[in-house]
Copies of this chain bind each other. A is one copy, B any other.
């Protein structure tokens, strides 16, 4: 039946590139989670909107499930194809289509890498400010599908804020041209916003118009060593009040050790429970003096134990590497990832509670914390001990994730801050969204994708 369906697809779209070799199925069938065994039907690599639309119509008629696929750097299994789905890879639709200097809008195809978008923006004397470590591999379509956040959300917001328009092939095969780059458009439901963060379950982004902005003034980068969580919240409040923060990222000594083992250099002597990399605007002497004054005050209060202010771009990059290198340094340990958020004001109470929870539930297991304190977003990476099997390890982590989800629910938080729900977190969705909301999500899904062909089993069970 499925081979028959593939033959039908080829007959309809003779120019469509289709990959069916085992190596390709393996490569395109999985994302960075590495938890599921890839088993796609085939990989379709359309080169045009018309081909995407043709595939979606074919899938509706032949009842074949589609997994939309970008850079597959996702951490929630949203791009995994393990049940005979057709992977629809946007890898060949990766060009810049145009730049409008008056609207300062860059129009791109969905398969373009975030870094290529950033470079194209710089080429116009502007910036696309969303940024995170996977910039070289992730695609803008995937960024939109998860409303990607990253390291400068505190200054620039999430991906959502930068989308002026989207062309989307909905699950029903219709091409929707949403908002068309308008600044103001109060003409009915904003489906552009609904698509952002919908993880490929409502439609496939086939074109995006991205708002660009002016480059920020010169920035400085500082590394701080801190004695405890309470001090970290105090320093955050102090720095935010005095400086224009672009980033305020924390990690623990445990996280630092992994990055150092991967070749990074320690920038502050001694062991400290917490570190913060912060980047702030420092266009003139006044701003630089304000930063030093805030630092001095933090020292006097005992909130800061030590600190380094980068004296060169190279040193700034070295300090950033301590934070950005964490995910890569953990990969060999097959980490189980939690990506949670609460309101910033709820962080202290929440942190206290989950510190006890994790210490109790993972007595023999290494837990690495880092995240975006200014966004209330915490990454908790649990490292697999060699003695445990993959299955036993994941079972234990799922048990703890349920406890974490219960704690999040009490604190009004979210089980997924920026990774999405995908396969990994769908069992915990009800900790963040009410039964009434989930019921509405199902109905809305059915409106856009009546035959349920788009990323079935992702986000919603």
Task: Give A residues with C-beta under 8 Å from B.
Answer: 100-103, 105, 146-147, 149, 153, 158, 160-161, 170, 172, 174-178, 180-191, 193-194, 196-198, 202, 233, 237, 341-345, 372, 375-377, 412-421, 425, 429, 432-434, 436-438, 440-441, 443-444, 447-448, 459-460
Contacts and interface: CB of A to CB of B under 8 A. Distances in A.
Nearest to A422: B186
Given A100-B343, A147-B186, A191 B421 contact: no
Contacts of A191: 437, 440
Given A153-B183, A187-B425, A188-B198, 6 more contacts: A147-B186, A182-B417, A184-B341, A186-B417, A186-B421, A187-B433
Contacts of A202: 189
B180 A343 contact: yes
Contact of A413 (B100, B149, B172, B182): B182
A392 B344 CA distance: 57
A414 B182 contact: yes
Nearest to A185: B414
B448 A186 contact: no
A376 B417 contact: no
Nearest to A214: B244
Nearest to A193: B193
28 contacts: A100-B343, A100-B345, A146-B186, A153-B184, A158-B183, A161-B161, A170-B436, A170-B440, A175-B436, A182-B341, A182-B376, A182-B417, A184-B417, A185-B341, A185-B417, A186-B416, A187-B421, A187-B429, A187-B433, A188-B459, A189-B197, A189-B202, A189-B444, A190-B194, A193-B193, A194-B194, A440-B447, A444-B447
Main secondary structure on A side of the interface with B: loop
Contact of A345 (B103, B188, B197): B103
A235 to B, nearest CB: 13
A436 B375 contact: no
Given A344-B103, A436-B170, A414 B190 contact: no
A90 to B, nearest CB: 20
In the A-B complex, the 10 residue pairs with the smallest Cβ-Cβ separation, listed nearest first, are: A193-B193, A102-B345, A443-B447, A184-B417, A174-B436, A183-B375, A185-B414, A187-B432, A187-B416, A184-B341
Contact of A441 (B170, B172, B189): B189
A182 B433 contact: no
A197 B191 CA distance: 11
B415 A187 contact: yes
Nearest to A371: B184
A279 to B, nearest CB: 17
Nearest to A190: B197
Contacts of A183: 153, 158, 341, 343-344, 375-377
A111 B25 CA distance: 56
Contacts of A237: 102
Contacts of A429: 187-188
Contacts of A416: 185-187
A101 B237 CA distance: 10
A188 B146 contact: no
Contact of A158 (B184, B341, B459): B184
Contact of A186 (B186, B193, B418): B418
A421 B190 CA distance: 13
Given A194-B194, A343-B103, A345-B103, A437 B188 contact: yes
Given A182-B343, A194-B194, A421 B459 contact: no
A343 B437 CA distance: 34
Contact of A102 (B103, B184, B344, B447): B344
Most buried by B among A149, A182, A194: A182
A341 B165 CA distance: 14
A371 to B, nearest CB: 10
A343 to B, nearest CB: 5
Nearest to A443: B447
Nearest to A431: B187
Contacts of A184: 149, 153, 158, 341, 372, 375-377, 414, 417-418
